[in-house]
């Protein structure tokens, strides 16, 4: 059955996955270790080895990431904007390394990113962002103005809750198995465009150089990777979203965004 003939059928098939993810995304805390490097040339190490032996009270940062993950990309972008150095720990989702017992102890949901800061472990990019904003207040990524702050929280939430989860790899594989391989691209495009329509309306009276003005804030950190993924992977035509398209041109010129891009990561597979 094709989802565009009976949308309620497909929504019922996937709703349980979405609800389960939202309930548990912010509660995956455990303990681990850290080391540090600069963002422009992150050092990598072999993932998922001897994690337990490496526990310490260090307050340095480790990011468990996958080069093609848009959620990991957000966190890399935020770390770069704040000037925070970190060690990059690759988790190869294509090889299923997220299901290794060592990584499961960090995040039972088996998702990246995971940030380790001393004895604090945070999974979910939204939670990581808020943690970084409070723990490392240099270069604030939430404005002081309450209205603009709320706007940024709302914009980031639309992306992290109503767009990205509906085109993640596990979701598309589920759709292919239950409905058919021809449906997954249409499903992703439908929900990306729906989310972009909402963001265009939300931001059109505020967008300038960036999404909510002339400074890079939280919405930008979430929006920039989302637009890049939407255009490259899902063939979304951004000309129908003029405000989003305009700020996207500004993102491309940011060194911090360029350094956080997938192809610049140590685990990148070039030619894909």
- Tell me the domains of the chain and their CATH numbers: 52-135 (3.40.30.10), 146-264 (1.20.1050.10)
Alpha-carbon distance of 139 to 142, in angstroms, equals 9
- When the pLDDT of each residue in the chain is averaged and rounded to a whole number, the result is 84
Q: Can you state the angle between helices 169-178 and 183-203, rounded to 10 degrees?
A: 140
Contact 142, 152 (CB under 8 A): yes
| Token pair of 32 as six digits | 């681990």
- pLDDT given for residue 272 in this prediction: 62
- pLDDT given for residue 92 in this prediction: 97
Work out the pLDDT band at 25, boundaries 50, 70, 90.
Answer: very low
* Sheet containing strand 120-123, strands side by side: 87-90, 61-65, 114-117, 120-123
Which pLDDT tens digit goes with each residue over 41-56?
344 444 444 443 333 3
- pLDDT given for residue 15 in this prediction: 53
Contact 32, 116 (CB under 8 A): yes
Which pLDDT tens digit goes with each residue over 152-184?
999 999 999 999 999 988 888 889 899 887 799
- pLDDT given for residue 248 in this prediction: 98
- pLDDT given for residue 46 in this prediction: 45
pTM for the predicted model, two decimal places: 0.80
Which pLDDT tens digit goes with each residue over 53-66?
333 334 689 999 99
Alpha-carbon distance of 110 to 98, in angstroms, equals 5
169 or 269, higher pLDDT: 269
Q: How many CB atoms lie within 10 A of CB 198?
A: 16
Which pLDDT tens digit goes with each residue over 117-166?
999 999 999 999 999 999 999 999 999 999 999 999 999 999 999 999 99
Mean per-residue pLDDT, 190-207: 98
Residue identified by tokens 């912010």 is 26
Work out the pLDDT band at 190, boundaries 50, 70, 90.
Answer: very high
Q: Given its phi and psi angles, is residue 115 left (phi above 0), alpha (psi -120 to 50 degrees) or beta? A: beta
């Amino acid at each position: 059955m094709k989802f565009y003939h009976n949308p309620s059928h497909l929504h019922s098939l996937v709703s349980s996955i979405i609800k389960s993810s939202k309930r548990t995304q912010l509660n995956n805390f455990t303990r681990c270790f850290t080391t540090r490097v600069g963002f422009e040339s992150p050092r990598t190490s072999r993932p998922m080895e001897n994690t337990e032996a490496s526990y310490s009270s260090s307050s340095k940062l480790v990011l468990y990431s996958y080069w093609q993950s848009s959620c990991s990309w957000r966190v890399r972008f935020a770390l770069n904007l704040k000037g925070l150095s970190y060690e990059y720990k690759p988790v190869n989702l294509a090889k299923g390394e997220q299901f290794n017992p060592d990584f499961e102890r960090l995040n039972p949901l088996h998702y990246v990113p995971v940030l380790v800061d001393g004895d604090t472990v945070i999974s979910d990019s939204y939670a990581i962002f808020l943690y970084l904003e409070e723990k490392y207040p240099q270069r604030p990524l939430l404005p002081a103005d309450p209205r603009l702050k709320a706007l940024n929280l709302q914009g980031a939430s639309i992306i992290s809750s109503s767009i990205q989860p509906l085109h993640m790899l596990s979701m598309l594989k589920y759709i292919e198995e239950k409905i058919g391989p021809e449906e997954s691209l249409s499903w992703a495009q439908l929900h990306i465009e729906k989310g972009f329509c909402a963001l265009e309306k939300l931001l059109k009276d505020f967008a300038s150089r960036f999404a909510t003005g002339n400074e890079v804030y939280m919405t930008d950190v979430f929006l920039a990777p989302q637009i890049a993924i939407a255009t490259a992977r899902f063939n979304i035509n951004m000309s129908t979203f003029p405000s989003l398209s305009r700020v996207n041109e500004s993102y491309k010129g940011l060194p911090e965004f360029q350094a956080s891009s997938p192809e610049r990561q140590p685990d990148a597979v070039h030619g894909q």
